[in-house]
Amino acid sequence: MLSACNNSNNDAAINNSVNQKNNSSNNDVVKEQSVHNEFLIKINELSNIDSPKFSIVVYKNNEVSQNLNIPDDLDEYLSFNRRFFTVEDVNFDGYEDFYFIDYMGMVNSSKIVYLYNPTNEKFEINEDYRSITSPHFDTNYQIVKAFNRGSASYNESENYILLDKKLTRISKTVEDQQNDAYRYIIYDGDKEVEINETLRKVKLYIAFFKTQKFNISIDLLENGKYRYASWSASKNLRNNPDLVLKNGLKKETQNEISYKFQKGEFSYLCTLYKLTNGGQLKVFQNQKEILSEKANTFIIPNELKTYIGKQNKVNLDIKNN
């Protein structure tokens, strides 16, 4: 089973929230908690010292909890007031984390990220985030979005999820208008694969189904509908897909998530079974089943568990000279 929902480590982090069934929805939801842990992070500019140029001290219950280590190779030309010290849950586990700007160019930037560890109640630097260009943290979809602009005619955009507590890229789009060259790369649950570039205009890559006969990608479009693109198993995914449908609807029950697509008298149903982590493709003609195949399935975490709430509170006290 090649599924993000099979990520036991990531689920363990999320399950520090009390998971209850939402009576108004079939989604499993991370329920909002009363805040148990409150921290104060004091940042002081040290203008008379070459390195580091500021100090970061974490307080809990008015006592020093830790002094955060600051990398020695920060952009030395970036001023204190452009570091933009921020508190935000950047790994979508329900706990607020801390970050600031590492480098800032004309367009692109990078961040130094300290993830909150609820086990030892410490903030720990994570270098993986530093390698992402201009990251944006989208809790609505539990996605880290990245954008790299090389020139007026060239840019790259990427989406990451947390898989086994590690950032995993699930999609990458390359737009090279000057050379009329475009690429769309997705994660199939096992590895990154490049698929036909005409499919790159989507809101979000959602899932991949592998059956004995077919490879199927599912995307969320800007209009809220889901898109189905399928290739025969023997076909290169960079080729045009054999079938593209843009009218998909999602249906969820306690034990299943399904995406249904329609083309005339034919309907296509891609289903993920939550209890077994198994998947299935079914095709119907005039409501009569004509094909059924088991599928290895990858699906992004947000399709299975919606993010709501936090379990700690972090305040900032920033002093510059």
What are 189's two structure tokens?
């649950």
Residue type, 203: K
| Residue whose C-alpha is closest to residue 65's, from 134, 15, 21, 116 | 116
6 within some domain: no
The span from the CA of 148 to the CA of 157, in Å, is 6
* Mean pLDDT confidence for 273-293: 94
Angle at 65 between CA 63 and CA 69, to 5 degrees: 135
Q: Are 293 and 18 in contact (CB under 8 A)?
A: no
pLDDT, tens digit, for every residue of 93-147? 999 999 999 999 888 999 999 999 999 999 999 999 999 999 999 999 999 999 9
11 within some domain: no
Number of compact structural domains in the chain: 2
**What is the structure's pLDDT at 180?**
87
Identify the residue whose tokens are 């599912």: 218
Domain co-membership, 173 together with 41 = yes
Domain co-membership, 64 together with 125 = yes
Domain co-membership, 155 together with 238 = no
In this predicted structure, the answer to whether residue 17 has a pLDDT above a threshold of 80 is: no
76 vs 317 pLDDT, higher one: 317
In this predicted structure, the answer to whether residue 3 has a pLDDT above a threshold of 70 is: no
Domain co-membership, 115 together with 159 = yes
269 within some domain: yes
Q: What is the 3-state secondary structure (H, E, C) of the chain?
A: CCCHHHCHHHHHHHCCCCEEECCCCCCEEECCCCCCEEEEEEEEECCCCCCCCEEEEEEECCEEEEECCCCCCCCCCCCHHHCCCEEECCCCCCCCEEEEEEEECCCCEEEEEEEEECCCCEEEEEHHHHCCCCCEEECCCCEEEEEEEEECCEEEEEEEEEECCEEEEEEEEEEECCCCEEEEEEECCCCEEEECHHHCCCCEEEEEEECCCEEEEEEECCCCCEEEEEEECCCCCCCCCCEEEEEEEEEECCCEEEEEEEECCEEEEEEEECCCCEEEEEEEECCEEEEEEEEEEEECHHHCEECCCCCEEEEEEEECC
**What is the structure's pLDDT at 15?**
41
Domain co-membership, 97 together with 193 = no
122 within some domain: yes
Q: Which value, in Å, is the radius of gyration of the alpha carbons in the chain?
A: 22
Domain co-membership, 118 together with 231 = no
Residue type, 202: V
The span from the CA of 272 to the CA of 278, in Å, is 6
Domain co-membership, 126 together with 213 = no
Q: How does strand 28-30 pair with strand 19-21? A: antiparallel
40 within some domain: yes
251 within some domain: yes
pLDDT, tens digit, for every residue of 188-233? 999 999 999 999 999 999 999 999 999 999 999 999 999 999 999 9
Domain co-membership, 226 together with 254 = yes
Identify the residue whose tokens are 């929902």: 5
What's the burial of 230, exposed, middle or buried (CB within 10 Å: 0-12/13-18/19+)?
buried
Domain co-membership, 142 together with 26 = yes
260 within some domain: yes
Domain co-membership, 175 together with 314 = yes
Q: What residues make up the domain containing 66?
A: 16-179+308-321
131 within some domain: yes
The span from the CA of 304 to the CA of 319, in Å, is 42
**What is the structure's pLDDT at 67?**
97
**What is the structure's pLDDT at 5?**
42
pLDDT, tens digit, for every residue of 51-92? 568 999 999 988 999 999 999 888 888 889 999 999 999 999
**What is the structure's pLDDT at 23?**
40
pLDDT, tens digit, for every residue of 20-51? 334 444 444 444 444 557 999 999 998 766 55
Domain co-membership, 24 together with 149 = yes
Residue type, 8: S
Domain co-membership, 78 together with 168 = yes
130 vs 150 pLDDT, higher one: 130
